Chain A
Amino acid sequence: MFDDRSPIYRQIADRIKADVLSGALEADQQVMSTNQYAAFYRINPATAAKAFQQLVDEDVLYKRRGIGMFVSPTARDALRAQGRETFFGQVVDPMVAEARSIGIPLSDVIKRIEQLEDGR
């Protein structure tokens, strides 16, 4: 269920972030508890708690004492802004490098992007 690439808690945190970005988790919506996450992913609850703590530190979630964890109202906008900052470096540049190494002209890549844009 998890890859070896990064710590499990970071992978859980990334999934919650992806849910916030896609709108599956909305502002002020309660997220599942640490124990529910631990049982679902079959992981130690301390690991799940670490993921939640990271998200609280990053202002993606906030804690309501005795009730649980909720999505910060500012989380989605903040994550979108972060995503825009890293998009070209993390997504576009590797794609261009891959296209070059397998010999696809960049003009073909641009054509494809334009087709996708027109298809909308």
Chain B
Amino acid sequence: MNPVRSISLQDLGEVDPHSPLGLEWDQIVRTNPASGFMQSAHWAKYKRQSGWTVHHLGLFDNDQLFGGAIFYAAQNAKGAGFLAAPDGPVLPWEDLERAESGLQMLVACTQSDARSLGSMAMRIAPRLSALPGEILRHFSRAPLNLTEPKTLYLDLSNGPEALLRGIKPKARYNIGLAERRGVSIREENSLSAARDFHTLMQTVAVRNGFAVEPLSVFVSLIETLCPEGVARVFFAEHEGNILAAMLMIKFGDRATYLYGGTSEIKRNLMGGYALHWAAIKSACESGAKIYDFWGFDPGVAPDHSYAGFSRFKSQFCGTSIELIGTWDFYFMDQLADVVIRAFKEVSVT
């Protein structure tokens, strides 16, 4: 017979990452394999600073915090918003009964507050590789992903030397070539990195036909997360030219290659290889056990624009990971509310 449990839920408000509660929360997130940096108090601080609404709910078991979720929402969504928990919710998925109770409480709480939160749905993306029993039976697969559902993990536990031996010869050769040709790596975590980084990202975006976030995103990210050691910015350079850059997130035992790209110049110097190798070594030194390449799909057609990215990443010989992706739960009354509002607007025009 299960012991009697008293699970409760509290709105944790704005949690300072350095407060006792913030430290406790981040420790829970860090040690939960199905969560990640986007559920950390640090990331919440960055999002809040960037103008998002952040809603932090904690689950307690006999007054002991054991999970919860940080939901992010657009301001002024006029009732049509989403409460999104990338890398969340943070639940003890190994204990399905407890996880289900926790999820039900999160749904009930957000649903009852949906109107005041201006949201019509909850959107979650736990880092699970298989559906947790029937727990998500009331959720549906979302049309958008909050995080990369297919990615590549590089196991860092054996250290850089073993890693270098394990990667494909071409990658090893290119890393050595970059070094021999004088490509250097600079870690620059001050705000002055933001402009150079964004400029490079724009170049890459134009070349690849992507949209890139505005400069303010990188300024906020670097300003909030670099001093904490959560974000780190690396540049591969040669004689004053920036060849490649990346922004890496280190949280818990995972280092994530979140943003990055290579410039147009001196591509024969293999700055991208040098950059990744430096970041991998640095991740090892900072105690990370996994390097997440953040997006990997070797199954796409060879002429697909992502095929090249996946080919590049695959040379580091990681493990392909497939997660369950992102799931939606609509608050039906709130959705009806907002659709009725739309009907009324078009009926009086």
Question: Do A and B truly interact?
Answer: no
B: which residues have CB within 8 A of A? none
